[in-house]
Amino acid sequence: MPSVSDVSPLRFPLEFPLKVMGRDTREFHDALAAILMRHVAPLDTLRVAQQPSREGRFVSVTITFIAESREQLDALYTALTRNEHVLMAL
């Protein structure tokens, strides 16, 4: 029997907005694209919106995609938060 922490209130598949923040550098964008390719789909096939910071040093990227499972989201968040170029993933 799954524990309470293993039960997700989310019902998959579902449209999922992911927000990732980092310095607006080639390394950040390349790392984000590689992680998304591995866990979701190629970046150019996803719905993406970018918002630069006021001074232009940082960028917030919102990627909306169809999440297939909690395991997929867990793996995606783990990869993002372990990457040195990603400052935050929400």
In the chain, the domains with their CATH numbers are: 12-89 (3.30.70.260)
Provide the pLDDT for residue 10: 84
Provide the pLDDT for residue 3: 44
For 42-45, the CB contacts below 8 A with 24+ separation are none
pLDDT in tens, 62-76: 999 999 999 999 999
Longest dimension (CA), the chain: 51
Nearest in space to 75 (alpha carbons), one of 36, 39, 46: 39
Contact 87, 22 (CB under 8 A): yes
Provide the pLDDT for residue 7: 64
3-class DSSP assignment, residue 68:
coil
Strands laid side by side in the 86-89 sheet: 47-52, 58-67, 14-23, 86-89
pLDDT in tens, 13-60: 999 999 999 999 999 999 999 999 999 999 889 999 999 999 999 999
